[in-house]
Amino acid sequence: MRAPRAILITGASSGLGAALAEAYASPGKTLFLGGRDSARLEAVARIATAKGAEVHTETIDVTERTHMEVWVASANRIAPLDLVIANAGISAGTGDGGPEPADQVRRVYAVNVDGVMNTVLPALPLMQERGQGQIGIVSSLAGFRGFPGAPAYCGSKAAVKVFGEGLRPTADRSGIEVSVICPGYVRSPMTDVNDFPMPFLMEADEAADRILRGLERNKARIAFPWPMYAVVQLLQIIPPSWIDGLMGRLPTKSG
C-alpha cells in the first residue's frame, strides 16, 4: 500500500519498532503503537506526535491473545487499519553453548510466533471486509538457516517467514498485501547485549527506511543487507554435513 494512513505497529517501544513509528509519523497519519514498556512507548509517541501524527498507545504483551484481539479491533474502529506490522520479538541464545532451557525456548516461540499470529489473525478479517490492507511480518535473516548459538530464535523466525510467504498469495485474493521482512543485524536493545561481531550492523532508522520503501512497493520479501542475504541463501543450499563443524564454532548468544 503506497500511502497507508492508519498503521498499527507492535514492539514499538524501542529498536526497529520505534524507528518504524518515527518513519511513518507525519500529518494525516494515525499510529497505533503497542509495546510492553509504557515509559519508552510514550517517549516514542511524543516524537511521532511532534512530527504531526495522531498517536494512540497500548501497553501490551503480544502473547496475550484476547488483549491483542480487543486492541486490534478497537484501533480499527478509530481508524480502519491500512497497514499492520507484526514487529514484536525477543532473542535469546544458548549462552555456554549447551541446549537452551525449555522455558526460554517456549517464551521465544510465544513472543515471536504466537505474537505474530495474535497480531495478524485479528487484522485479516477486518481488512477482508474492506477488500484492502497490508500486513508486514518481521522475520529475520536468521530464519533462513538454524544457527547453533540461537536455535529457538532462528526456528521462530523461520516459522513466521514461511507463514507469511504462504499467506501472501491467498491474502492477495482479498486485496490484502503481505510482505515478509528479513533484516540482518539492526542496532537495538536486543543486539546491544551481543558480545560477538555483528557484520553489517545497521542503524534502526536506516533499516526502517528500507522497510518502508519495500512495503510501498509491495515486495514479497524485504531482505537486507544484501551481502548477508547472499550468505544465508548460500548456506541453505550447502549440505549440512559440509558445514556442521564450522557452524559449531560460531559464537553463541547469551541466554
Catalytic residues, by residue number, are 153
Strands (E), 79-166: 83-86, 133-138
Helix, strand or coil, per DSSP, at residue 8: strand
Nearest to 181 by CA among 152, 217, 219, 146: 219
**Beta pairing partners, 220:** none
Helix, strand or coil, per DSSP, at residue 131: coil
Rounded Cα gap, residues 35 and 37, in angstroms:
6
Under 8 Å between Cβ of 45 and 228: no
Rounded Cα gap, residues 120 and 132, in angstroms:
14
161-166, long-range: CB < 8 A, 24+ apart: 161/137, 163/116, 163/117, 163/137, 164/135, 164/137, 164/139, 165/220, 165/221
Cα–Cα–Cα angle for 17, 18, 24, rounded to 5 degrees: 90
What radius of gyration do the chain's Cα atoms show? 18
